[in-house]
Amino acid sequence: MATRATTPVSRAGQLEHPAQAGSVSGPPSAWDYFADRAFRGVAQGGVWVVLLLLVFILWEIGGKAWPGIREYGLGSLTSTTWDTNLNLYGFLPEIWGTLYSSFLALLIGGFFGVVMAIFLTQDFLPPRLAQVFRTIVELLAAIPSVVYGLWGLFVVVPAIRPVADWLSGHLGWIPFFSTTLSGPGLAPAALVLAIMVLPTVAAVSQDALRLVPYRVKEAAYGMGTTRWEAILRVMLPAASTGIFGALVLGFGRALGETMALAMLIGNSNQMTLSLFSPANTLAALLALNFPEAGPRQVQVLMYAALVLLAITLVVNVIGGIIMALASKDPTRK
Amino acid sequence: MRALSFPNQDVLAGKPLRERGEGGPAVKHRSIALSTVVLILSLLVSSPGGAQDRMRLTGSGASFPFPIYSAWFKAFSTKHKSITVDYQAKGSGAGIQDFVNRTVDFAASDAAMSDTDMAKVPGGVQLLPMTAGEIVLGYNISGNAKGLKLPRDVYVGIFLGKITKWSDPKLKAANPGLTLPDSDITVVRRADASGTTFVFTQHLSAISEEWKKGPGTGTTVNWPKSDKFVASPKNDGVTATIKQTPGSIGYIEFAFAKFSKIEMALLQNKSGAYVAAGGHGGAEALSSVKLPDDLRAWITDPEGAKSYPIATYTWMLFYKDNKDPKKAAGLRELVEYCLTEGQKMSEAMGYIPLPATVVTAVRKASSSIQ
């Protein structure tokens, strides 16, 4: 009760001396309690809605996939034949293609993304210029997938053709170069995919590097390290958890990428190590076969969707575990 | 509710809002509620067909005739102030599915409609062939050899993955005037399930026992496994890939090859003659097959010396019982427009105009749309 009595006084004081506003305080009102609880309730509700939505999606896909799973079981996961006339549906090549193309993309995109993050955060550029670069890299994320696909088809494929021809001609004994590039294939798909995951990797890695306290770097310089030693031995390890998170996010993005890959990967049901062979991915299989799918095919496609979900989940869980292990390491040492 | 009894209590957060007037929270709540109601109402009002009182006919299905259908429907909607036609090119299979679920007023399909699907529609289905098209083999050979001739066994062999070089003796024998490179043949096929693939594989099955027993007929088939078989989505994707890939060959709809200026092979027909697409060969092929009463006919391997070998009708599907006489009248009007004005556009857009006898038969059948 006493506090309420003081309220008008403090209010008047505040009006006269705005500079002292910080010192004015009172207990939270009933309305504040209500607003606080309401906000918490809404936030909590939002979380539950998202979780329920995920369960609902899984339930729906699983329910529709169930007849297909019962009919084909593990056979679909190990067979390489997709023949609608014979009702044979195997998507092992798609699983392989999804993982292989995403891995290649991450290898390239991850490398350049991290390098770019170092370049933009470690005082190589004046801050304003760095901001311009950052914006440009982030703009890459705003380009629609179809545009990437077209660009890949009309620019990347002709550009890498001479290189691919030389590699397959001279180094054909290496399994990665064992076939000639005929147009769409793993190499152009992985290159374009690498550019698509680049903004994700670069942006998250930059945040990770910027979060390392500046004094850590200063301490490294104080120890007499060169700039590169400071970056490679101190900054990168200190930001490694965040950078690893960036790579996992990038891999997740690559796994689910659909349209650009559907246009570039060649959509051929084969498993191959060769970078110049056509391959296929789960996402492309789903996107391209749904519109004309019969009832049986829909079940199998739902099954494939479930497998894609499972792969994404497994990748994220493994990433989480490795991240947890990696973040423990420095404290143990 | 205690909050309402102390509206003027002073706190740090949210002060400006509170200073707007007495009963701040209550007013705020009321205005939020009000604006929500307004929003929902406006959504409800705006969704069905806008402010005007136009009848809307929606259709979905085949993408093969989409260019000409969209031209027709646009012209029809401009001409008939009271009717708007919307068409979504989702693919024949999706169109049939929509049609069976009654989410559209009509559908379109390259593969007509099977008896089992037709049985699912109470009241019956009227299939009407509305236009026809040719499927061509577009190619890209370095040196830009024009007028490549493909014998029947050769193009089957190429798509079976048995003939793999442009310098194959059989190809050379058929094309003595051309210098064919010693490079691999890259076959470009459709990646998505499609009516175009269905018509093409149906033709291959008709002319080759080996194809019939191997890949067979379907909207997707099990293609030979080879590094030299690549797939692209939709007609546009295949067209672009052929253009970008030296030494490639692929099947596309005539209009796509025509407008992107891809070289088209002359195909050998049943009587042994080589016929180019785009001339009168398509019309000849159509007239070689007599339409049955249900207007479902496949031209798998047309007779006649001038016939182009791979041609097909494409159908619109209508309900015989529309449960709405006004809508049925609108649909009949649409069919009539497509049969008269529409056919005049066909040739310029790369489709085959329907023969006069077919137009008469379709007009007669359209009266069953009620």
Instruction: List chain A pLDDT tens, one digit each, 333 residues.
Output: 444 444 444 444 444 444 445 556 788 888 989 999 999 999 999 999 999 999 999 999 999 999 989 888 888 888 888 888 788 888 999 999 999 999 999 999 999 999 999 999 888 888 899 999 989 988 988 999 989 999 998 999 999 999 998 998 888 888 888 888 888 899 999 999 999 999 999 999 999 999 898 888 889 999 999 988 999 989 998 898 889 889 998 998 899 898 899 889 988 888 888 999 999 999 999 988 887 777 788 899 999 999 999 999 998 888 888 777 766 655 444
**Chain A residues with CB-CB distance to B194 below 8 A:** 292
* B3–chain A Cβ distance below 8 A for any pair: yes
DSSP H or E segment with residue B61: strand B55-61
Nearest CA of chain B to the CA of A85: how many Å?
Answer: 7
How many angstroms separate the CA atoms of A135 and B58, rounded? 43
Which of A11, A25, A31, A39 to mutate to test binding with chain B, by most B CBs within 10 Å of its CB?
A31
Dihedral of alpha carbons A60, A62, A68, A70, sign: negative
Chain B, 176 to 235: residues with Cβ < 8 Å from chain A are: 184, 186, 188, 191-195, 215-223, 225-233
- Compute how many other C-beta atoms are within 10 angstroms of the C-beta atom of residue A35: 17
**Chain B residues with CB-CB distance to A25 below 8 A:** 12
- Facing residue for B91 by CB, picked from A268, A284, A292: A292
Nearest CA of chain A to the CA of B205: how many Å?
Answer: 13
Reading the block at residue A226, the tokens are 């060169």
**What DSSP line would sit under B111-167, residue for residue?**
T---HHHHHTSTT-EEEEEEEEEEEEEEEE-TT---S-EE-HHHHHHHHTT---BTT
**C-alpha pair distances (Å), A45 with each of A38, A49, A56:** 10, 6, 16
**Minimal-distance CA residue of chain B relative to A30:** B3
Q: Please, which residues bridge with residue B316 across strands?
A: B108, B128
Radius of gyration of chain B (CA): 28
Per-residue burial over B309-347, b if 16 or more Cβ lie within 10 Å, else e, is bbbbbbbbbbbeebeeeebbebbbbbbebbbeebbebbe
Q: Are B327 and B295 in contact (CB under 8 A)?
A: no
For tokens 């194809």, what's the residue?
A: B211
> What is the β-pairing status of strands B186-190 and B248-253?
parallel
Give pLDDT tens digits for B114-142. Answer: 888 888 888 888 999 999 999 999 999 87
Amino acid at position A152, single letter = G
Low-confidence ranges of chain B (pLDDT < 50): 1-28, 45-51
* B81–chain A Cβ distance below 8 A for any pair: no
B186 phi/psi in degrees, rounded to 5? -100, 120
Give pLDDT tens digits for B41-68. Answer: 555 544 444 445 678 899 998 888 888 9
- Compute how many other C-beta atoms are within 10 angstroms of the C-beta atom of residue A46: 10
Q: Are B174 and B150 in contact (CB under 8 A)?
A: yes
CATH superfamily of domain region A94-326: MetI-like (1.10.3720.10)
pLDDT of residue B17: 39
Reading the block at residue A19, the tokens are 């500079």
pLDDT of residue B39: 53
Nearest CA of chain A to the CA of B44: how many Å?
Answer: 24
- Facing residue for B221 by CB, picked from A29, A85, A179: A85
pLDDT of residue B96: 87
**What DSSP line would sit under B197-234, residue for residue?**
HHHHHHHHHHH-HHHHHTT-SSSS------TTEEEESH
pLDDT of residue A8: 45
Query: With an 8 Å Cβ cutoff, are B230 and A183 in contact?
Result: yes
Q: How many CB pairs under 8 A join A and B?
A: 139
Amino acid at position B105, single letter = D
Q: Report the Cα–Cα distance between both ends of chain A, in Å, rounded.
A: 56
SS3 A251: helix
**C-alpha pair distances (Å), B52 with each of A146, B41, B46, B324:** 35, 18, 11, 19
- CA A23 centroid distance within chain: 46
Per-residue burial over B15-52, b if 16 or more Cβ lie within 10 Å, else e, is eeebeeeeebbeeeeeeeeeeeeeeeeeeeeeeeeeee
